[in-house]
Amino acid sequence: MGKITRREFNLLTTKVIASITLYQFIGCTDEVKLISKGEENLKKLVIAFGPWPMIDRSIAEDFANRFIEVSHLSQNYLKKSVELVNNIANKLPKNAIALESLDLRKFSFEENEFILTLCKQLYNLVEVRYYISKMPQFGECQVDALFYTKSPS
């Protein structure tokens, strides 16, 4: 995957998200409220699509909060995608967490594209991958430094 760094990848994917949702932004609606609502709904999506089961809901929420904060800092992600995020969130079960699957026929083409892009971005992140692979947390020294030599089962 060569020269594309993860940061570049993230920028690239969020640009895609921004571009497909631009037309859906409602210009006359109060922007602050939209962003605020979008944040909550984006958080809902991250928790629903992520790998954390109910028992780890606090981990999921902490991750989602940081994910949203970073998205805000890096570009107009939420601002331009908020309507789309809201539509998708409204089609998910209440308090959805670690969904097993999603019936894509319930979503529009743009919503499908958004979900796919968001999920790729999410599951590329080391923190998510390590969680799924049951790896010790990144950056934490290990008492059993030979854990990597053992069978993962």
Partner 1 sequence: MEEIKTDYCIVGAGIAGIILASKLASSGKKILLLDQGPRYSEKDRSEFLQQGKMTLNDSADYNDNLHPDLKTETTSISNDKNSIEWKPLRLFGVGGTALHFNGTMMRPVKEDMRVRSLFGYGRDWPISYSELEPWLLKAEFEVGIAGNTDNPYASKRSGPFPMPAHEFSHYDKKYFKPALKKLNIVGHSYPRSVNSISYQNRSKCLACRACRFCPSGARYSPDRTHVPILDTLDNVEIISNVSLRKLETNSSSNEIIAAHIVRTNDKKPLLIKSKKFILALGGIETPRMLLLSADEKLHKNGLGNMGGQLGKGFSDHSIPSYHFNLGQHAGHRLGFPTMISDYFRVHSNRENQPTISIRSSPAMESSPVGTLSFSWLKNQDTFSFRQVREMIPNVVTLSAFSELEGTGTLDLDPVKKDSFGSPLARINMKMSDWDIAGYELLKEYGLKIADAMGAENISNLSPPGSGFGYHPSGTTAMGNNPDEGVCDNNLKIFGLDNLYVVSNSVFPHMGSNPPTLTIVALALRLAKHLESNSI
Minimum distance of partner 1 from residue 30's CB (angstroms)? 28
Handedness of CA 106, 112, 115, 119 (dihedral sign): positive
> How far are the Cα atoms of 29, 45, 149, 153 from residue 68, in angstroms, in the given order?
21, 11, 36, 34
Q: Which residues contact 15 (CB under 8 A, 6 or more apart)?
A: 75
Per-residue binding string, partner 1, 46-75, x by CB under 8 A, is ---x-x--------------xx-xx--x--
Per-residue binding string, partner 1, 8-47, x by CB under 8 A, is -x--------------------------------------
Buried b (16+ CB within 10 A) or exposed e, 85-123: bbbbbeebeeeebbeeebeeeebeebbebbbebbeebbe
19/29 with CB nearer partner 1: 19
End-to-end CA distance of the chain: 29
116 interacts with partner 1 by CB under 8 A = yes
Minimum distance of partner 1 from residue 27's CB (angstroms)? 30
Minimum distance of partner 1 from residue 19's CB (angstroms)? 18
- Name the site residues for partner 1 (rule: CB under 8 A): 1-7, 9, 49, 51, 66-67, 69-70, 73, 98-105, 115-116, 119-129, 132-136, 138-142, 144-153
